Amino acid sequence: MMLIKIGGGEEIDLEAVITDLAAQEQPFLLVHGANVLRDRLAERLGMEKTVLTSLSGYSSVFSDEDAIDVIMMSYAGLRNKRIVELCQRQGINAVGLTGLDGRLVQGERNKGIRVRENGKTLIKRDLSGKPRAVNTALLSLLLEQGYCPVLTIPIADERGFAINSENDDIVAQIASQLPLETVLQLIEAPGFLDDPEDETSLVANMSLAELQQREARVEGRIKRKLLALTRLCQGGKTRVIIADGRVDKPITGALAGAGTHIA
């Protein structure tokens, strides 16, 4: 089984991705983002995101009720259903779902961010959290009947409330509970770049050891991404490919060797 994670950038060629997907052998499932769409919608609605800086100097988006509304409209609504539509047009019997639906992805709400405001230390708790369990029974039921699950945020917290979560963590959680041979991540770059500014610096193959060495050397958002990749590989049980989602036949190309292959 293959899981394909489609990035939320605007340069991803969704039509090319889904057309190519229709030529692959089943079963597969999709997880997708929609961050550019979300930011643009939030701006048009005047509901721009709040970024908090914690006492430890870490910045993060504060997910309030408005932010969840915008996630529901952009991720669960527009992006999810347009992907499902593209699938249906190509003969893939897609079913779009969020982590809320059938408690497909059950999370644990974050405890809060410690911030300093007007000389006081406050704990601000938002609607975000980490995925802790996947309803594999529902996913398997759909896959066995020939459906292609198309997953996105929000996920459910312990009490069933909608919360925001990181797609990387959701993919890692699914990979730990379903027998995935391959996880293919389609992004807006040719793959993992040695120099993020230089598209010709593609790292074509990376061993798990090299991935761990790189993770130890970097800081910030990229460190989190590399850590998620390490977890995803599960000590080599799952092949991970990072490839370009902006090209023609992106899946066929990646399976034939394009992009970065980690194993």
> What string marks each residue from 243 to 262 as x (binds its own copies by CB under 8 A) or -?
--------------------
**Bond preceding residue 149 cis, omega within 30 of 0:** no
Residue 22 binds to its own copies (criterion: CB under 8 A): no
Does residue 96 bind its own copies (CB under 8 A)? yes
44 binds its own copies (CB under 8 A): yes
Residues binding its own copies: number (CB under 8 A): 42
Amino acid at 103: R
The torsion angle over the Cα atoms of residues 121, 124, 125 and 126, rounded to 10 degrees, is -160
- Phi then psi for residue 81, to 5 deg, are -75, -30
Per CB under 8 A, 41 contacts its own copies? yes
If the CB atoms of residues 135 and 185 are measured against its own copies, the closer one turns out to be 135
Q: How far is the CB of 77 from its own copies (least distance, A)?
A: 2
The smaller minimum CB distance to its own copies, of residues 78 and 208, is found at 78
Min. distance of Cβ 94 from its own copies in angstroms?
7
Q: Which is nearer to its own copies, 37 or 232 (CB)?
A: 37
Residue 5 vs residues 50, 54, 171, 241: alpha-carbon distances, Å: 26, 30, 8, 10
Shortest reach from residue 242's CB to its own copies, in Å: 29
Choose between 78 and 193: whose C-beta lies nearer to its own copies. Answer: 78
129 makes contact with its own copies (CB under 8 A)? no
43 lies in the site for its own copies, by CB under 8 A: no
HEC string of the chain equals: CEEEEECCCCCCCHHHHHHHHCCCCCCEEEEECCHHHHHHHHHHCCCCCEEEECCCCCEEEECCHHHHHHHHHHHHHHHHHHHHHHHHHCCCCEEEEECCHHHCEEEEECCCEEEEECCEEEEECCCEEEEEEECHHHHHHHHHCCCEEEEECCEECCCCCEEECCHHHHHHHHHHHCCCCEEEEEECCCCCECCCCCCCCECCEECHHHHHHHHHHCCCHHHHHHHHHHHHHHHHCCEEEEEECCCCCHHHHHHCCCCEEEC
Q: Does 237 bind its own copies (CB under 8 A)?
A: no
| Contact with its own copies (CB under 8 A) among 3, 31, 100, 187 | 100
Looking at 37-45, 213-221, 232-240, 244-252, which segment touches its own copies (CB under 8 A)?
Answer: 37-45
Binding part of the chain for its own copies, among 52-60, 135-143, 164-172, 225-233 by CB under 8 A, reads: 135-143
State in angstroms the smallest separation of the CB of 206 from its own copies: 36
Cβ closer to its own copies: 44 or 111?
A: 44
What is the contact surface with its own copies in residues (CB under 8 A)?
Answer: 41, 44-45, 69, 72-78, 80-82, 84-85, 87-91, 93-98, 100-103, 137-138, 141, 145, 147, 154, 156, 159-162
